[in-house]
Amino acid sequence: MRHNLLTVAQAAKLKGVTRAAIYGAVARGRLPHKRILGHIALREADVLAWVPLGHKTGRAKGTPMSPEAKLRLSESQKKRWAQRKSQGTNKK
């Protein structure tokens, strides 16, 4: 039986997470892996079945908030958002 093996970078891209998330899952034993010549190799099926802890689904970066989401913002969030918008920066 042949398995499709992925590098850490390929697995991160496939799941839409950072390489650090993959390394962390491997270190905690949550993502099965093999070491081949000192490199981590991951089976594609294992990566697809893995669900990152604390992973939040939501809007993609750069997409505008929906009106419903804007209504759920607290007053302090609205102030910070307005400050960032007036400064012309996305994050600080």
User: Given this model, what pLDDT does residue 58 score?
Assistant: 62
- Domain range spanning residue 29? 5-49
Count of CB atoms situated within 10 Å of the CB of 17: 17
Quick check: pTM over 0.85?
Answer: no
User: Given this model, what pLDDT does residue 92 score?
Assistant: 45
Asked, for residue 13, whether it belongs to a domain, the answer is yes
Asked, for residue 88, whether it belongs to a domain, the answer is no
Asked, for residue 40, whether it belongs to a domain, the answer is yes
CA distance 41 to 22: 11
Which pair of tokens denotes residue 54? Answer: 């604390």
Q: How many domains does the chain have?
A: 1
Show the low-confidence residues of the chain (pLDDT under 70): 1-2, 54-60, 89-92
Residue 36: φ, ψ to 5° = -125, 115
Asked, for residue 70, whether it belongs to a domain, the answer is no
Count of CB atoms situated within 10 Å of the CB of 44: 14
Percent of the chain that is helix, strand, coil (3-state, to 5): 45, 10, 45
Asked, for residue 18, whether it belongs to a domain, the answer is yes
Asked, for residue 54, whether it belongs to a domain, the answer is no
Instruction: Give the CATH number, domain containing residue 15.
Output: 1.10.1660.10
Asked, for residue 33, whether it belongs to a domain, the answer is yes
HSE of 73, CA atoms in CB hemisphere, 13 A = 15
Find, among 30, 36, 41, the residue nearest to 6 by Cα: 41
